[in-house]
Structures are given as structure tokens and as C-alpha cells.
A and B are shown apart, each in its own frame.
Chain A
Amino acid sequence: MTSMDTAFTEPSAPFNKSVFFIPALIAGGGFLFFILLAATGHPEKAWLVYLTNFMFFTVLSCGGLLFSTLMHFTKARWSHTFAAVAEAFSAFFPVSFVLFALLFIGQNYVFPWVGQDLHGKEVWLNVPFLFARDSGAFLILYSLGFGYLYHSLKFRLKTAPQNTRLKIFLFKRFEQSLHDPETIKRRMTVFAGWYMFAFAMCLSLIGFDLVMSADPHWYSTLFGAYTFIKAIYAGFGALILLVSLLHLNPKVPFTLTPAQLADMSTLFFGFSIVWGDFFYSQFVVIWYGNIPEESAYIVERTMTHPWSILAWTVFLCCFILPFIILLSRKIKQSPRCMIVISSCVLAGLWIEHFLLLGPSFLAHDPAVFPIGISELIISLGFLGLFSLSILAYFKELPETLKTNSGEGVQWK
């Protein structure tokens, strides 16, 4: 047994129980603070942060898994190391679904249009129909994601010992449906294709229903596409952050070569331009048309204090900085630099979610900066929850981090 195998099979491997303690504490603290804030007179603030974080971490996890499906679908070889880590993001899917269901409790605060005269839009914007179609969308998307993951794990767990309940369950299922590698790969391709299609459709719907509807009289046809492009950008950013952290942690037997990281970062750089393009495409049409019902939304968010500060921060963090900094190949090869840049982009995208929703939830007050300590504490709670999901995945399935795991390896 090699030293790497030992590291994976021993219970004292990098993902032992102690690493769960801090994220669990933060998640618990964030949750308690959310309840406290919701119960003590600021439910709209609490639910605004909840919805912002729910959207942010949901698109992050969906975008993360999309990387693996995209790479499999295009038969890319350079990205196997990243694809293995990208699949870990699917561990947040069940949590995301539960968090979505919990939105039902706060429906009077989450949907500012409840009780408003919607001038005929009630047919679409009513709470039961919204929950029914969005739950359906999440179920379809997450089932396809898990379908893909299940087949991918057949390769990744090939040499794994059956030392956890999850693995024993999976191996039983694998034995019941033994197939040759080509069949499994074909099935992965089918699941990957449908996942990517569902990704575009479902995230468009979620974007329309949960974000755009916060201002029920404003609409932008491109908003759905903008939502899923943003999800890809966020997912890739989170993936770079995660692989860089894993690479820098000496206890984790996961390494990257500078060339691999540079390639991934180039793709990330490309998506910063795609994000900027979609942002601009929406913006320029509204600017040209200058119809009050469309431009009021933009004017409020980009030209009135304090939201204008957030708008410029988003533009700087998500486009200007990554565009200029990522021109350098040296920076793209450095995990430390990439941690800083991807964190900056992710922070920008978080603020962007907050900016899109905030003005519809909070009364306009130029003197009050909308992001305070309570927003940060609840958001840290969500980050803790997200980290817990990823850690749980790697604890249960540490073999997925092995170099050369995956479909490239011969199936016996």
C-alpha cells in the first residue's frame, strides 16, 4: 500500500471529525442569528440576506458541477483533476433544496409582490404555483446532477475500500448494474447533456421567479440567461478557490501543476468577459430605450446612494480587476494569487445578488449602508453550511481526490 493509499484509508486522514467543528459552529451561529433577527422586528432584513445567500450558494453549486459535465461532454482531457473536485459541489444540492422549501415560511417577506396589485401577472406570480414549478425545476436539475455523479463515481470509486455506509450502499448498487466502461461513459454523456440543458432552463426560471420578481413591474428578457451565465462564472470561481486551497493544504494528497491552474484560470478569465458581455447587453438596451418602467430599476441601483457604491464595487470586482489581473500568466499559475482573485470575484457576485434584491426589500435611506454586521453573520452561517457539505463529501468519498481517478482509468 502506498503512502497515498494509507492517507485515504486511515480514519485520521485530512477530513476527520475535527475539521467539521468550526464550520458547524459558524453555521449554527448564523442560523440562530437569522432566527433572532427575524423574530425581533427586522424580518425583511433577515429574509433578504437568506434569499441572497440561498441564491448565491445555489448557483455556485450548480455552476460547480456544470464544470464536470461540460468537460465530460466535450471530451476534455486536461481537466480531470478539476472535474473530480467540481463534483463535490453537488453535495450542497440536498441542502439547497431544503433551504428553498424553508422560503415558504417567509413568503410574506421573500416575495415583496404578495398582496400587491400585479395587473394580470397574478396568473404567474402566486405563491403555490411558484413553489410548485420551482420545486419541480430544482428536482429535475438535482436529479440529473446526481444521475451524472452516480455514473462518474463508478469510475472514481473503482479501487476504494468499502469503509463507509455510503460506499457500501453505492457498491451494492454498482454490483446490481454492472456495465462495461463504454456504456457508463455513454450514460454519463446523456446525463451531462440533459444536466446542462436543465441548468440553463431551471436557473433562468429561478432567476425570473426569485430575483427579477422582487420588483414585479420590471422585466428584462435577458435576465434568465444572465442568471445562468453568472452561475457558471461563480461556479468556476468557487472551483478555482477550492482546488487552490486543497493544493496548498499539505495534509490533503491533492496537487495541481502550474500549467493546469493556468488553463483553468484562463477559462475563468474568459467567463469574466462573458459575464461583462451579458451585463452590458442588458444594460445598453435599457439605456437606449429609456422607458421609465425599465430604467427606474437601473437608476435606483446604479445612481442613488448607497446602492451606487455597491454597483461600482460589483463592476470592479467581477469585471475590471479579474480582466486586468488575469492577463498575467504568472498570476494565473499561482494558487495563492488565484485564491485572492476568485474570492474577490465571488464577493462581487454576492454583492450583486444583494444589490438586485436589496432595494425591493428595504426602505430607501441614503444615510444607512445596507450591508452591516448582521448581514455578514448570517452569510457566514451559509458559508459554514456550504463548507460542511463539501467537507462531508470528501470525508465520505476521499478517493475522488486521487490523481487519475475518473473515467480515464480503465474499468475492471
Chain B
Amino acid sequence: MNTDAIIVTGLYNTQEETLAAVEKIQEKGFEVTEVHSPIPSNALAQALDRKKSRIGWFTLTGGLIGFFSGFALPVFTSTRWNLIVSGKPILSWIPFFVIAFEFTILFAVLGNVVGIVTQVGLPDPDYEKNYDPECSGSLYGIEVASPPENADSLRDLLDETGSLKKQRETK
């Protein structure tokens, strides 16, 4: 993207309008840099030709590490003392499962956070610059980059595709 380019964010009411707009904007040769959606949408991911997210693998790896560490911790601590409690075996796998379960959740969440930080590029201090809070409510936002000289034709194009009058513009 050209460093002098300006970003115009068009806002749309429905997913169908947004999908049609993305197609039309790309057809006209403009670069769609980001689409904000209030709901997860496979259709939008497909339209933007995005690669499948790898965050799930981070979460799964974290969960697996957690599951086995969750068993390893009580096994390690129990075998340090070898105390028999209520006639139960030293290595009681059934109650150890509770700790394994909790560790699975904890490490899966941590794995997820690592995935978001490394894959999505968050936290990004500039993220909110082009972001309209209504994209967390009911509207869809398409960020389009354009050289300053084509800005007028881009604005017209956005109007034409059904973008709401309220548009954001930043450098």
C-alpha cells in the first residue's frame, strides 16, 4: 500500500451488501485493506480470499500441553511424599483428571492469546484509527485504500455500492 494513500471506511447494513460491495470495489482496482464484521463470517473470509487462520492450532497445542502437565503436576507432587490418604492409591488418576481439565482450559486460553499476538498482529495501536465502534454493533465496515487523487471516485463508488452516508477517512 502506498504510504500517501488515504483510507476510506464504508459502512453497510447487511452481509449481502458488504459482499457485493467488496466484489465491486476489487473489480474497480481498489485495495480492500480490512473488513470489520459484527459477526464471524465465512462468506466474507472467502470473498477476501484469506488464508485459513492458524490460531486454532495454537489453542489445540496449548490445550494438549495443559492436559499432560495437569497430570504431571499431581503425579510429581504425590510421588514426593507417598502418603496414602483414605486408602486411595498414591497415583489416583480419577481425581487427577480435575487438575488436568483445569490446566487444559488454562493452557488452551494462553495458547490462544499467543496465537492472536503472533498471527493477527494484535495489539495494534493504529487499529482504532479506521475502526468504527458500530462494527461491533450492527454494521459492517470496509476499509479501502486509495491514492489521494482517486479519493473522489472511491467515495462515489462507496456511495454507489450502498454505503451509508457516515464514512470515515484517515491518512
Structural contact, A327 and B94, CB atoms closer than 8 A: no
Known contacts A290-B86, A290-B87, A327-B60; is A284 also within 8 Å of B42 by CB? no
Name A284's contact: one of B60, B86, B87, B95 (CB within 8 Å): B95
- Give the distance to chain A from B43, nearest Cβ to Cβ, in Å: 8
* B15-51 contacts to A (CB < 8 Å): 42
- Cα A287 to Cα B86 with chains together (Å): 11
Q: Counting CB contacts under 8 A, is A104 at the interface?
A: no
Q: Which residue on B lies nearest to A262, using beta carbons? A: B42
Q: Counting CB contacts under 8 A, is B131 at the interface?
A: no
B86 neighbours in A (Cβ, 8 Å): 288, 290
Q: Which residue on A lies nearest to B63, using beta carbons? A: A327
Structural contact, A283 and B42, CB atoms closer than 8 A: no
- Cα A290 to Cα B92 with chains together (Å): 13
Structural contact, A280 and B60, CB atoms closer than 8 A: no
A327 neighbours in B (Cβ, 8 Å): 60
Structural contact, A280 and B97, CB atoms closer than 8 A: yes
Q: CB-CB contacts of B86-101 with A at 8 A, as 1s and 0s?
A: 1100000011011000
Structural contact, A287 and B94, CB atoms closer than 8 A: yes
- Cα A259 to Cα B95 with chains together (Å): 38
A280 neighbours in B (Cβ, 8 Å): 97
Structural contact, A259 and B87, CB atoms closer than 8 A: no
Q: Which residue on A lies nearest to B42, using beta carbons? A: A259
Measured as residues with beta carbon below 8 angstroms from the partner, the interface class of chain B is under 10
Q: Which residue on B lies nearest to A287, using beta carbons? A: B94
Provide the main secondary structure of the chain A interface.
helix
- Cα A280 to Cα B98 with chains together (Å): 10
Number of interface residues of A (CB under 8 A): 8
* B68-110 contacts to A (CB < 8 Å): 86-87, 94-95, 97-98
Known contacts A259-B42, A290-B87; is A283 also within 8 Å of B94 by CB? yes
A287 neighbours in B (Cβ, 8 Å): 94-95
Q: Which residue on A lies nearest to B98, using beta carbons? A: A284
- Cα A284 to Cα B94 with chains together (Å): 7
A284 neighbours in B (Cβ, 8 Å): 94-95, 97-98
- Cα A315 to Cα B4 with chains together (Å): 61
- Cα A290 to Cα B87 with chains together (Å): 10
Name A288's contact: one of B60, B95, B97 (CB within 8 Å): B95
- Cα A280 to Cα B95 with chains together (Å): 10
- Give the distance to chain B from A266, nearest Cβ to Cβ, in Å: 12
- Give the distance to chain A from B71, nearest Cβ to Cβ, in Å: 15
Q: CB-CB contacts of A284-321 with B at 8 A, as 1s and 0s?
A: 10011010000000000000000000000000000000
- Cα A290 to Cα B86 with chains together (Å): 9
Q: CB-CB contacts of B146-171 with A at 8 A, as 1s and 0s?
A: 00000000000000000000000000
- Cα A288 to Cα B92 with chains together (Å): 10
- Cα A288 to Cα B86 with chains together (Å): 9
- Give the distance to chain B from A79, nearest Cβ to Cβ, in Å: 15
B95 neighbours in A (Cβ, 8 Å): 284, 287-288
- Cα A284 to Cα B93 with chains together (Å): 11
Most buried by A among B42, B60, B86: B42
- Cα A290 to Cα B85 with chains together (Å): 13
* A260-298 contacts to B (CB < 8 Å): 280, 283-284, 287-288, 290
Q: Which residue on B lies nearest to A284, using beta carbons? A: B94
Q: Which residue on B lies nearest to A283, using beta carbons? A: B94
B87 neighbours in A (Cβ, 8 Å): 290
A259 neighbours in B (Cβ, 8 Å): 42
B97 neighbours in A (Cβ, 8 Å): 280, 284
- Give the distance to chain A from B81, nearest Cβ to Cβ, in Å: 19
A290 neighbours in B (Cβ, 8 Å): 86-87
- Cα A280 to Cα B97 with chains together (Å): 10
A283 neighbours in B (Cβ, 8 Å): 94
- Cα A290 to Cα B98 with chains together (Å): 18
* A183-241 contacts to B (CB < 8 Å): none
- Cα A287 to Cα B96 with chains together (Å): 13
- Cα A300 to Cα B4 with chains together (Å): 76
- Cα A351 to Cα B94 with chains together (Å): 23
Binding site for A on B (CB under 8 A): 42, 60, 86-87, 94-95, 97-98
14 A–B pairs (Cβ distance < 8 Å), ordered by A: A259-B42, A280-B97, A283-B94, A284-B94, A284-B95, A284-B97, A284-B98, A287-B94, A287-B95, A288-B86, A288-B95, A290-B86, A290-B87, A327-B60
Binding site for B on A (CB under 8 A): 259, 280, 283-284, 287-288, 290, 327
Closest 9 A-B residue pairs measured CB to CB? A287-B94, A284-B94, A259-B42, A284-B95, A280-B97, A288-B95, A327-B60, A283-B94, A290-B87
Task: Beyond the given A259-B42, A284-B94, please list 7 additional residue pairs across the A-B interface where CB-CB is below 8 A.
Answer: A280-B97, A284-B95, A287-B94, A287-B95, A288-B86, A290-B86, A327-B60
